[in-house]
Amino acid sequence: MSTPVNSKLPKIGQRSTRQRRAVAEVLDGLTTFCSAQDIHQKLVAKEHKVGLTTVYRTLQQMAEVGAIDTLHDESGETLYRACATDDHHHHLVCTSCRRTVEIDGGPVEEWAAQTANKFGYEKSGHTAEIFGLCGDCQKK
């Protein structure tokens, strides 16, 4: 099995194993945010022998080094996705099918900086995600 072209796995700084490569391969093929269980099911469907604990650990390591994006859905579950860009961006996420569109922050960027400054903070980062129903799910 070859390492995916867009894989961000080397950022982990850990030994590249068959299991980690398999997780990275699945992430590279995602267009939606997925749970660790979803990713594990995709691995099982592709006949990869990777335990759920390994999937969780790999996703956590990748998220810690910024190799993948995470967000929490309305139930609080952590969802994961390898994004198309390393540049700062936000997400528009369908709450039904989890279809995701990467968007720039526009006025959110200025607002975040001004708000931090107003309260005497030095801004080190921010997140802003928009949730709703995509056009296809609205039609259902």
Does residue 47 have a known ligand-binding role? no
Does residue 89 have a known ligand-binding role? no
CA 71 to chain centre: 7
Does residue 83 have a known ligand-binding role? no
Residue 40 near residue 55 (C-beta atoms within 8 A): yes
Does residue 64 have a known ligand-binding role? no
Report how far residue 111's alpha carbon sits from residue 80's, in angstroms, rounded to the nearest whole number. 26
Report how far residue 100's alpha carbon sits from residue 34's, in angstroms, rounded to the nearest whole number. 10
Report CA torsion sign: 91, 103, 27, 56.
negative
**Residue type at position 106:** G
Does residue 34 have a known ligand-binding role? no
Does residue 126 have a known ligand-binding role? yes
Please report, in range form, the residues annotated as the binding site. Answer: 88, 94, 97, 109, 126, 134, 137
Please report, in range form, the residues annotated as the binding site for Fe cation. Answer: 88, 109, 126
Please report, in range form, the residues annotated as the binding site for Zn(2+). Answer: 94, 97, 134, 137
